Chains A and B, each alone.
Chain A
């Protein structure tokens, strides 16, 4: 051994790579030391759960967007110059239109595979946003945004907003009637901002709407600015994820100090690869068989016509709904003939502003009312934080109601209802609905927690009835397995913050008492109603009775002392 090791030539025989791939890797490693990073990542442990792959769906549909988007950019002409289209489609042959619209038609009817690429691109955009939303829901309801991951929550929120910007700017590129209607609404929203509104509108459109510049400007935003930012932020998002290590669901052996799972390589790399091809396949299939945004039906943009069923893509539908619900009377003309368009400003700026602010601020709000500065790596079961879960469901309710309101015309025709009645129902529901679902969800969570307590204390119902010598009947319960019990007892029922007295020991009023009191009230709202987990003492007490019962069961149901315990037994 020592002789071989001392001879460098012999050593090289063992360590030098032999396969071409190995040689290439060695070449790279000698120049970049990339091996260290690869080893670090390959050994990273990832916990196993399907809900951890939701973000992956977003990531992979973004990759598909990049690939198909580059293809589209090769043929698309971001220009609003008027041209006459001489293509093959009878209903548009020989019509005047912008070069942008004409090139979209050429992409759809002349370029080989162009329509497929357009449709995959658009379906991917819808799925991209949908998966981001579902991924966010997972993070929210499991409390994965808690310390140290608050910043990554902010990065994720920014990604979602950038996704909206990407979708909106892309949707407006083909310059068809529908996308032009969307821009018209945007123009109205910008103009509704007091004082600077009309200047901003002129600035954005380079003059009076629609002008001749907006498509070219949106093109730069759509293929350079927004994708670049998204790419950079995805990098940051994943870097932070690796840095913080992945969270894990609660369960036996899982603590805030470890990660239980498989190493990234080969298990997760294989799974991720499989998932990528699966997602690409589904998107390609959708693009090939389901038509989406058939712009030739809408025709080239012209500011006058608006067709029935004019709606934005689903992720913008909540804004459309918010506008449709707002009564028009809120437009105020102040002194000096200055018009304040609250009928647009409130639904299109204030309401989305409130919704997004809530999402951005939530992690910090919850940390403050919890008074908790510890790190958390084990996720919450949604039932164990009833108010958070309730707030999430309430938020979702508001979002869904707004999206439905944005489709009120389709609801009216498909269910034979009056659109006026639907609009009024949604106006009321927007306020009542979230409150109602909050209460119901909170109650359900508390109920589930109580059920967990029962289970831990008394075990599963076995269906076997035992009769005592005294003539009393009881059902035998089988105890929970360690894993089952761990899942149900290992959480904290946070208590509301303590409020120090208003005056200190010498009777002097404390500074900041008023603000503290408000936080205290908020904390009470969060944690006043709670179900404590079963403590070891409670468990032990419950066990003595159960053990006695089980022993009696083995002896054939005779138990002289049973009557003294019977008061504690399940009825």
Chain B
């Protein structure tokens, strides 16, 4: 300690301190920041399991080394996020040919999904699986999220994320039951007909704001039963089949009294 104290006034001291501070900040950043390199750090064992799983379940369509075929795109560079999204929502392995791969109960468990993601990520750099922090709705701003959602997503997914139709049988699904992680990944990878919203379009914070807005929607509607969040058509249907039907029933009942 003495030696250190003695050299406190050394000419190089500020530089050393600065270097140390930078190192500390860098270390903290490395620990907390999302790193696209994360997938690369997955163990080679994982990648090996992933490769085997891939060859058994996916290679028929995507080709033996995921280079793509006539019926399915190449997966080189789509990143762990794309695989995690597609497999954990049950879209992949795709079962049936249709306008777009339908979501269904996932066929792979968590470890298998992680292994597949690690394998595909090892083929080329791409978006990584987001950290819990990145998708934490409590850190997002729902108001910003609503504004972003309104201009970027509502035209396909409806104002509250109830889903909507696209051309030729394609559809933007309801987001009511989608996990926060999958929401983030969908924006990063643009599944099927959906465009990619990279950080230049919607920043990582913006994505978290959107998640915060969608989480707000789960709290229910202030006005009572939200009727599926589908808007005026659903309301009109209820006005006829519930409101008017009950009133006509009442008229029949009142009309029948007395005579």
Chain A residues in contact with chain B, CB under 8 A?
Answer: 48-54, 56-57, 90-95, 108-109, 115, 119, 122-123, 126-127, 130-131, 134, 177-178, 262, 267, 271, 274-275, 278-279, 282-283, 286, 288-294, 296-299, 302, 304-315, 317, 406-410, 412-413, 416-421
Contact = CB atoms under 8 A, between A and B. Distances in A.
B231 A311 contact: yes
Which residue among A48, A177, A412 has the maximum number of chain B CB atoms within 10 Å of its CB? A412
Interface string B225-250: 11101111111111110111011101
Contacts of A134: 244, 248
Nearest to B255: A50
Contact of A317 (B158, B212, B236, B243): B236
Nearest to A126: B239
Contacts of B230: 309, 410
Given A283-B243, A291-B226, A312 B232 contact: yes
A91 B247 contact: no
Contacts of B213: 91
A291 to B, nearest CB: 3
B43 interface: no
A294 B246 CA distance: 24
A33 to B, nearest CB: 31
A425 to B, nearest CB: 14
A327 B16 CA distance: 73
Contacts of B234: 410
Given A48-B255, A50-B255, A91 B142 contact: yes
Contacts of A313: 232, 235-236
Given A134-B248, A275-B254, 17 more contacts: A48-B258, A53-B255, A57-B251, A94-B143, A178-B231, A262-B259, A271-B257, A278-B250, A286-B242, A290-B238, A292-B227, A293-B235, A304-B151, A308-B155, A308-B159, A309-B158, A421-B169
B81 to A, nearest CB: 25
B224 interface: yes
B101 interface: no
B225 A289 contact: yes
Given A92-B146, A271-B257, A308-B156, A412 B235 contact: no
B223 A309 contact: no
A247 to B, nearest CB: 15
23 contacts: A50-B255, A54-B248, A57-B248, A95-B143, A123-B243, A130-B239, A134-B248, A178-B232, A278-B247, A286-B242, A290-B223, A290-B238, A290-B242, A296-B222, A307-B150, A308-B158, A311-B231, A314-B233, A409-B165, A410-B230, A413-B163, A417-B169, A418-B99
A119 B225 CA distance: 12
A393 B254 CA distance: 28
Contacts of B69: none
Nearest to A93: B143
Contacts of A290: 223-225, 227, 235, 238, 242
Nearest to B253: A50
Contact of B159 (A90, A177, A418): A177
A298 B147 contact: no
Nearest to B157: A308
B123 interface: no
Interface in B84-135: 99
B97 to A, nearest CB: 15
A108 B251 CA distance: 32
B221 interface: yes
For the side of the interface on B, what is the size category?
35 or more
B172 to A, nearest CB: 7
A53 B254 contact: yes
Q: Is the interface of A mostly helix, strand, loop or mixed?
A: helix
B168 interface: yes
A304 B148 CA distance: 12
A279 B151 contact: no
B196 interface: no
Nearest to B171: A413
B252 interface: yes
B164 A309 contact: yes
A413 B164 contact: yes
B177 interface: no
A418 B247 CA distance: 36
B223 A119 contact: yes
Contacts of A407: 233
B168 A314 contact: no
B164 A57 contact: no
A123 B236 CA distance: 9
A306 B153 CA distance: 10
Contacts of B216: 90-91
B222 A294 contact: yes
Contact of A294 (B151, B226, B251): B226
A308 B164 contact: yes
A53 B235 contact: no
Contacts of B171: 412-413
B136 to A, nearest CB: 15
B258 A288 contact: no
Which residue among B146, B216, B237 has the maximum number of chain A CB atoms within 10 Å of its CB? B146
A64 to B, nearest CB: 12
A291 B222 contact: yes
Contacts of A312: 232
A299 B150 contact: yes
Nearest to B98: A416
Contact of A292 (B155, B233, B235): B235
B246 A50 contact: no
Q: Nearest 9 A-B pairs (CB), nearest first?
A: A308-B164, A314-B236, A291-B223, A50-B255, A126-B239, A307-B154, A418-B169, A412-B165, A409-B165
